[in-house]
Structure 1
Amino acid sequence: MKCFLGILFAFVIVVTLCDAYCFFQLNDPLESLDGCIQDGKQHQFGSSWTANCHRCHCGQNGIRCCSIFHTPSGYDKEKCESIFNARTCSYTVVEKGNPSKDCEVLGWSG
């Protein structure tokens, strides 16, 4: 029974960590037959890149991008606020009245 609970707990952690926000953008054949176009840049079929805190891949049908950041959850939203840093693709959670103090975060998603 302990082994089963251990495996179940590990599975829950892995599923939580792998739960990224993703989106898909269809290719427009009128724009390009040689690859995918995102933000005015062409990417070859089969290529991958990171843009705007998302890891993207160009396939024959379109572009699939998934977030590389985690969003905080389970914190005191009245006392604290989350701040996104686009340079590091990460959130910090700080007190509204004293931004130099971090807040406890009970969970992360994404």
Structure 2
Amino acid sequence: MSFTLQNALLGSLVVLASIVTLCNAQCFFIPKRHHPGDNLKECRDLDGFTYPMNSKWKNNKCEECSCNPAGISCCNIAAVPVGYNELKCNKLFNPKTCTYTVVEKKNPKKFCDVQQWVM
């Protein structure tokens, strides 16, 4: 198997593993991938954007990320309601503020009590 094909397969596996992690966790990690010509003082995300080493930023997916020598670490910054009456209420997400509200299904103007939030 050629070196280029091995790199392509390895890169594909890293991307797939990252996507699975995105779907199943509040935090995830993107290992640093080295490409010819990459600056070792920055990280490159899955969309191709680069960030300076040891920097932190918030993305448009309500995640706070940081660049370190091993790669990019990201965590969800939106507290998710989990302790509420799911039969009576709906949780609504506002991507502009990265917040949830929980309202009654029959009367969406009325808020529901939430006993627990998860980060």
1:40 aligns with 2:48: yes
Distance (whole Å) between structure 2 residues aligned to residue 48 and residue 102 of structure 1: 34
| Pairwise CA distance, 1:28 | 1.0
Partner of 1:17: none
The aligned counterpart of 2:32 is 27
Task: Name the residue aligned to 2:71.
Answer: 62
- Whole-Å Cα distance in 2 between the matches of residues 97 and 36 of structure 1? 47
Deviations 1:52-109 (A, max 9, x none): 2111100111000111111101111011010111100010000111111100101111
Name the counterpart of 2:84: 75
Q: Give the Cα separation in 2 of the matches to 1:29 and 1:40.
A: 12
Aligned residues: CA RMSD: 1.6
Identity of aligned residues (%): 42
When normalised by structure 1's length, the TM-score is 0.76
Letter in 2 for 1:45: M
What is the DSSP-based 3-state SS (H/G/I as helix, E as strand, rest coil) of the residue aligned with 1:102?
coil
The CA deviation string for residues 28-68 of structure 1, in whole angstroms up to 9 with x for no partner, is 10173331122331101111100121111001110001111
Which runs of 5 or more structure 2 residues have no equivalent in the other structure?
A: 1-24
Runs of 5+ unmatched residues, structure 1:
1-19
